[in-house]
Structure 1
């Protein structure tokens, strides 16, 4: 056993030595390629489907429903992402997710009604995104420990290059090939995600631990076999006495059998109930639902989910907002989106460096990004008829979006240990999906009721502010508990000294 423990310690040290260097940077390249390949259809959602939705007579509420139903389907797979990532490797999961997304985009190109759009864009593409994104996130967090912030910032920054070029490219594609041809070309771009998936090599520590587990099980079996062999010799001497006692017990049981039938039924019912409870406990253990007992984690998840609904809706609906409030054409909207993406990249590059010098936490910087988005939407809703103001708002929103993109991916990994990260991220995705489908369409409904995106912009800002308020209350609650525990410890120490 001592040799086995030494072997485990040696392998742990070897695995840690392989993190933050070597193939870990190939993982960053793979994740970046996947994001650049599969995200354009989501990042340019409004630009791609604006003309088709207008020709089909799809309202703002229905547009929000399509957008958030896609997010709900994507996030609903987060609950199974933990068990799925334990059974399959990063590469296998990424391959399957890439194939699903490519097929979904190809079929979406020929969707010309609301039901077919729901089936193709929401369900098929949503399933593919829900499969592939947990694989990319977990691969980065597995291969990096000390340089996780740098790796995540580099990946997200390189991913941000896509929104700079893609709006201008999509504008040209729509002009020449319409919506159907544009989507088919985007499906061809999405096939490059197979290249990124090929780079997601399984972490070698996983294989070594499996071998160690098998060795440990063999040693346990040998130990149990030796105990059984030793006990057999003692049992032979008492075998005859056991037989006699068994006969007497059988006779007594036969006499009491008729009287105890009712008790047997009750005992069977209790056994079935206990089996159901144990089954539910197994599910809770596999999904690591004990995380829900942590009030701080629950506050983090709820705040991020609510703000994500608001930010996702605003970023996807920017073409519709600018067309209505600023009366911009498609080319001008594509230009504004590219400027916003350039500011996004600036935020992804500069803010993490500033954060590393100041030592601010990820949650604090996430709150600052939400305040920037709220400021930009407020200015846009008030003075959005000026093109100069629109450019200024795009810069503010872009910086806030870049900051948020970097640190929203680090909040959960910084709070929970690595072994609980798949389940913690899965719970976050499920919460995102539930709130997306329940709150997201309300934003479109506000537009249809007020016949303006001004009210919708204020509503999204209110949702983002709710995250700030919730985290502030959670921080006060945590601070109060820390002060209470500190006071109790000081009182106990004083009594001990007395």
Structure 2
């Protein structure tokens, strides 16, 4: 009896269709969960003053909350990476635009929440405001109900056969059993390497580069046969490295990306904490004017997330380049805000700062995906979040301490600018080094 041919299929993301519902669900969760970062100082500012807390205490509270989210699967720390991976799984060509629309949900919340919180505080007080915000956060689980497995909506495309009949061999005369045996021989596993590093996996699997018959150049003895059977078990530390994908930390490019994104996220969170305090306590703006400035920044961020991905996808601009340009301009515009006092100038520079921040933040996880193999992407994003948590617990309280010791809000904002520029300088040095190597 002849063998029955089996056809292998691969799942092709729909690049649309139900994928846009995935984007909607992730954006809804992002809208109700991430807005607390922008309104932290407005919501807790008067409360902390009544309790006698200074800026250092506020920075410790804020950065500890964000660090816990980065370190664990607690709260919004579970929502952010899962939403990105779900959106990324459903899109290929329109991935940048889809990620931008997903992340714009947070910006829509940041645009509305300052005015909502101001209204709630004036009418219901701190306790009533917290209860309303808690109820709004319950819309996040409703958005997650739209998440479906990819198998339900993906196109099943047959995998092209890699095996062709030999020259001079008739197509139909070959016995099926013989063909199956030959294919089994061709598909034998290839060894000689155990754990492939990230740098090698970007160029291709090293295991595929070494043919099996290389080990058959000399006959094997019986002693070698028994030794191959009695192989020592792999050490525990190697199994831990393979299980947790710790070999990612051996790649300098990934480490540089992780450092740059961690510095940018840390600076963004602490700037969100300092900006309302700077506007209210240093410039003596009212709460409504402060909310307007925050809304203008969120509006610029939203415009960047909705428009830039279409251009970068069409022009095939790499995420790291967009992140680099956005981070540099974001750091400079924040320093300009720290030297401005007029309401019109503040609104204009907040829009520009928000636009450049959106250009950077939209590419944070895409930068990790650019230098990380597909099967190691969850671990890569996880390590990136851990590095952000470490910086949040160190840089954030230090910035608050500087503010309490000097009483200077603009100085703290300039220090965050320096942090971002140092990170981008390391990216620039890496790019120059790689360019010099290619020239050689």
1:302-317 equivalent positions in 2, closer than 5 A: 302-317=259-274
Deviation at 1:67, TM superposition (A): 1.4
Is 1:39 the counterpart of 2:34 in the alignment?
yes
The aligned counterpart of 1:333 is 290
Is 1:55 the counterpart of 2:53 in the alignment?
no
Deviation at 1:189, TM superposition (A): 0.5
d(CA) in 2 for partners of 1:419, 1:445 = 41
d(CA) in 1 for partners of 2:52, 2:345 = 30
The aligned counterpart of 2:166 is none
C-alpha contact 1:152 1:406 (8 A) present in aligned 2: yes
The aligned counterpart of 2:135 is 188
- 2:338 counterpart SS class: helix
Deviation at 1:33, TM superposition (A): 1.1
d(CA) in 1 for partners of 2:4, 2:134 = 50
1:67 aligned to which of 62, 65, 73: 62
Deviation at 1:206, TM superposition (A): 12
Deviation at 1:433, TM superposition (A): 0.9
Deviation at 1:356, TM superposition (A): 3.6
Deviation at 1:170, TM superposition (A): 0.8
d(CA) in 2 for partners of 1:321, 1:3 = 76
Is 1:19 the counterpart of 2:14 in the alignment?
yes
Q: Deviations over 1:8-42 (max 9, x none)?
A: 3x2x1xx21x4313322211111011111222222
Deviation at 1:387, TM superposition (A): 2.0
d(CA) in 1 for partners of 2:353, 2:16 = 34
Deviation at 1:205, TM superposition (A): 8.2
The aligned counterpart of 1:374 is 331
Is 1:418 the counterpart of 2:413 in the alignment?
no
The aligned counterpart of 2:77 is 130
The aligned counterpart of 1:457 is 413
The aligned counterpart of 2:391 is 435
The aligned counterpart of 1:397 is 353
d(CA) in 2 for partners of 1:146, 1:322 = 42
C-alpha contact 1:41 1:186 (8 A) present in aligned 2: no
1:201 aligned to which of 118, 123, 148: 148
The aligned counterpart of 1:354 is 311
Cα 1:292–1:455 change in 2 (3 A) is: same
| Aligned Cα root-mean-square deviation (Å) | 2.6
Q: Deviations over 1:213-247 (max 9, x none)?
A: xxxxxxxxxxxxxxxxxxxxxxxxxxxxxxxxxxx
The aligned counterpart of 2:425 is 469
Q: Which stretch of structure 1 is more off in the superposition, 349-358 or 179-188?
A: 349-358
Deviation at 1:481, TM superposition (A): 3.7
Cα 1:472–1:386 change in 2 (3 A) is: same
d(CA) in 2 for partners of 1:326, 1:433 = 31
Q: Deviations over 1:128-151 (max 9, x none)?
A: 111222211111111222221121
The aligned counterpart of 2:116 is 169
d(CA) in 2 for partners of 1:54, 1:4 = 77
Which has the larger Rg?
1
d(CA) in 2 for partners of 1:70, 1:283 = 29
Cα 1:6–1:153 change in 2 (3 A) is: farther
Deviation at 1:59, TM superposition (A): 1.1
The aligned counterpart of 1:266 is none
Richer in helix (by share):
1
Instruction: Report the count of equivalent residues.
Output: 366
C-alpha contact 2:274 2:409 (8 A) present in aligned 1: no
1:95-106 equivalent positions in 2, closer than 5 A: none
Deviation at 1:58, TM superposition (A): 1.2
Cα 1:56–1:6 change in 2 (3 A) is: farther
The aligned counterpart of 2:90 is 143
Deviation at 1:358, TM superposition (A): 4.1
Is 1:296 the counterpart of 2:253 in the alignment?
yes
